[in-house]
Structure 1
Amino acid sequence: MSHFVIVGAGECGARAAWTLREKGFDGDITLIGNEPHAPYERPPLSKAALGDGQHPKYVAEEQRYAEERIALLIGVAVEGLDVGARQLTLSDARVLTYDKLLIATGARPRLFPGAPVTSQHIRLLRTHGDAVALRAAMQPGKHIAIIGGGFIGLELAATARKLGATVTVIEGLERVLKRGVPEDIAAAATARHSAEGVDVRCGVAIEALTEDAGKALVRLKGGDVIQADLVLVGIGAVPNTALAEQAGLAIDNGIAVDEQLRTSAPDVYAAGDCCSFPLDLYGGKRVRLESWRNAQEQGAMAAVNMMGGGETISAVPWFWSDQYDMTLQIAGLAEGAVQHLRRDIGDGAFILFHLDQAGRLIAASGIGPGNAVARDIRLAEMLIAVRSHPDPQALVNAGVKLKSLLAE
């Protein structure tokens, strides 16, 4: 009987395990995770789970894995991979042999250079345990400094304000959300945070991050010092490739896979935040995506392909972020766009459409209260997928339904 092993018990790895069973795989499945929890969803860590301090939002209850004959090994690390022998060495000295292997090890937060490695006052956010520790510090009368004005940093700023803490956001670039988010949307997000009392400082260089007398100290270039009860470092993520590198797999901004998520080793696949892949929709450009939906989709696709399905990557990249009552959504990749067209849809909500030199829609970005932009971003995603060249005037006219452009 075949034995499929999945390293990484996050959203991606869990989705792969469940898809194998849903698609009729009857062999043995082992799912390995180094955290003490069954697989859980990470997006709530900067939102609801951080806000209420409850248990993680599990992908499935732990007993269901046993019911579906999925061997769930939690609190166990994989320390070695021999692709020739098809063997994994675990931290508890066990050795597992596999027929096919999926690496779904995700990514880890980037450390701040020179900061203390372990500190109660300088934190990262990756795990449920991290979220619980952060919540304990986000109280009225406490000052939280957040280094990094990306999605995680701004979501945590919104959560901290909701819990009553004073918040300072420090971003080294000239604006927040510089990576992949248009300036108009970043400006709208900044304005909302400022209205909520967040001190947003952009274009600020940090000389040192230290702690003293129960406080974190952020020393800025020029001499200013920001003193905080807690500093959250949110300056990006690094793919977890150590296991793949040790095994000699090809690495290119993550574990390099082909359009079917196959690595450079036979019968070894990789999916989710840890891998980079070619995207035909953008001329074969190799990308690595850190998003919940990508983890779900690639986990399911890897399972199908491990069973011989031969599916290829075709999904349009999609991201979202919730801050206060605002939702920000992005479909596609705007790099290379030469036209940026705005459609205002009421209540302060708007969408930007990004077209390339040939007039093809390659991305759409929107922000607004609640689900105001969700439907139009979904329709834009469909237009991107079919490589549409829509009429620019129709895109900016809120009276023209995007669904009609899709029909054309």
Structure 2
Amino acid sequence: MDEEMPARRMNPAAPACGIWAVLVLAVCCAAVPTRAQEGADIRKTVDDAAGSLMAAHDVPGMAIAVTAGARSRIFTYGVATRETDAPVTEGTLFEIGSVSKTFTATLASLAEVQGKMSLGDHPGRYVPELRGAPVDKASLLHLGTYTAGGLPLQFPDTVRTDKETKVYLRTWKPDAAPGTQRRYSNPSIGLLGHVTGVALGSDYATAVEADLFPRLGMSQSYVRVPKSAMGSYAQGYTKDDKPIRITGGMFGAEAYGVRSTAGDMIRFVEANITPEVLDGEIRRAVENTHIGFFRTAGMTQGLGWEQYPYPVSLESLLAGNSTQMIWEPNPATEIVPPRKPEGPTLFNKTGSTNGFSAYVAFFPDKKIGLVMLANKNFPIPARIKAAHRILEQLARGGD
């Protein structure tokens, strides 16, 4: 020990180095946000977005869930119903509108993984009344990607029964060959959901509630809300502030009929971000919904999800979710062979009913995602702008 003492005494710079190390560490810590600071920044961004949306569009209540690096947070605002002023909670049920289509897509993908059907099949194989009809020239994949040849956004008001639905589909005349045109359509993906239920030896609602939701860990999601959950079901409001909820419609369950909570929906988002945490069949089913099949108007159409190369500009997201993309046909180019994204990609889907709004987006490469639910139908561009700000904040926060 006596031999080491001179060495320590002969190092007069040691105290100075220690001071400099402390100063450098302090500067680095000041430059790198702590988790607490990141959390505060995210909360402020979400609070500001929700507050602005609710004030601008007179929205009674909202739930916004975010995930970053496998850590999720749920923020709730306002009331689930104005009649009682019951607050929105993490367990409040919202109608998610056309975000339901992502569950129809996942169920169809699961049925294919199980060997119960193939997306290359045609609807007449499962619905005999449609055999040989023009719609039977389209494959189930065409139905799930809105490329069957021009099926409209909605069924005509005169179509109100199963028999009338089949008559309409049997006599429908396409205005384009399958696979050449994307026209967003509830009857199109609705027929896919109906066929999937038949292929599974069940019906769509039962298959989703009894099999799909449990596999995804979603215990508070329904197609048919049971009496025991009605107390959690938010009241929707029209643009004129009249109370309203969906009441059905042909293929309504398959196209826009799911009710869910922010907690369940963010679990679904996380399953899509890291499907490898899921078991066997459901993992493959989720992964297959990330395959791109057609390119159209600046985005890639997959089964349920719409895809954008990341980073994606606000303008591109607005264009991809515009009224023109919802209401009008757009030329489609088939991706051969179909494949998963070759680079960083953002997935998204909007949803609306007459009394509710929804938006879901996730970016697997950064492991970030967002769910936005509201009990009033307010404009899609407002949702996209708010979500884009939140996603940018999440991306800056890192994982």
Measured against the shorter chain, the TM-score band is under 0.3
The structure with more radius of gyration: 2
* Larger fraction in helix: 2
With normalisation by structure 2, the TM-score equals: 0.26
* Larger fraction in strand: 1
With normalisation by structure 1, the TM-score equals: 0.26
